[in-house]
Amino acid sequence: MLEETGTIVEIKDPRTAVVLCRKSSMCENCAARTNCHTGDDGDGDLRRIEAHNGLGAVVGDTVKIAADTRSFLQGSFLLYILPLIFLLIGAGAGQLLGQRFNAGPDPNLLAALLGILFLTLSFVGIRLGTRHLSADNFMPRITEILVAPADSNKGDQHGNQNHRHQ
């Protein structure tokens, strides 16, 4: 499970909250990065991440969000490994076709062209195929409310806050 901590800055709907987090090195490889947006505050080190809000967190809450490792690996495979496989298949097919036809184009040129064509087709296929997948499959979830804003403190008489877990 990949976990981050951040502050809720917006409630999009009863099930979705926008959490402002510091960008980590995991962000670049995350399958859910399409649900993330660079912060509007001018600080490129912050990310706005849409997350499932099953705990009913409100704006101002500091929360822990977690993304499923399985979703992370599936997304990484779709975005990196699958296009590489298509590139290699295209290049191999181009090389074989070029060698088979002696009077045809240079096998290396044909390998490069077919490799690029297959790579492009893989991205188009991924784009079209993932439209049918719900973004909810890759969206991180709020797993814990760490700190609630002072005005919604429902803690005990000493000001201790109750942690709410999923």
Round to whole Å and give the CA distance between 30 and 24.
Answer: 10
The torsion angles phi and psi of 109, rounded to 5 degrees, stand at -65, -45
pLDDT at 40: 45
**Tally of domains in the chain:** 2
Task: Answer yes or no: do 62 and 138 share one domain.
Answer: yes
Task: Answer yes or no: do 60 and 79 share one domain.
Answer: no
Task: Answer yes or no: do 8 and 62 share one domain.
Answer: yes
Round to whole Å and give the CA distance between 107 and 91.
Answer: 9
Task: Answer yes or no: do 65 and 76 share one domain.
Answer: no
Task: Answer yes or no: do 42 and 83 share one domain.
Answer: no
Task: Answer yes or no: do 27 and 51 share one domain.
Answer: yes
Task: Answer yes or no: do 9 and 62 share one domain.
Answer: yes
What residue numbers bound the domain in which 6 lies? Answer: 2-69+134-165
pLDDT at 140: 87
pLDDT per 10-residue tile (average), the chain, 166 residues: 85 89 64 52 71 89 87 83 96 92 85 96 91 76 80 45 49
pLDDT at 160: 42
Task: Answer yes or no: do 7 and 65 share one domain.
Answer: yes
Task: Answer yes or no: do 145 and 105 share one domain.
Answer: no
pLDDT at 47: 85
Round to whole Å and give the CA distance between 7 and 49.
Answer: 10
Task: Answer yes or no: do 64 and 138 share one domain.
Answer: yes
Whichever domain contains 160, its CATH number is 2.40.50.140
pLDDT at 39: 45
Residue 131's contacts (CB-CB under 8 Å, 6 or more residues apart) are: none
Task: Answer yes or no: do 125 and 143 share one domain.
Answer: no
Task: Answer yes or no: do 16 and 60 share one domain.
Answer: yes
The torsion angles phi and psi of 58, rounded to 5 degrees, stand at -120, 170
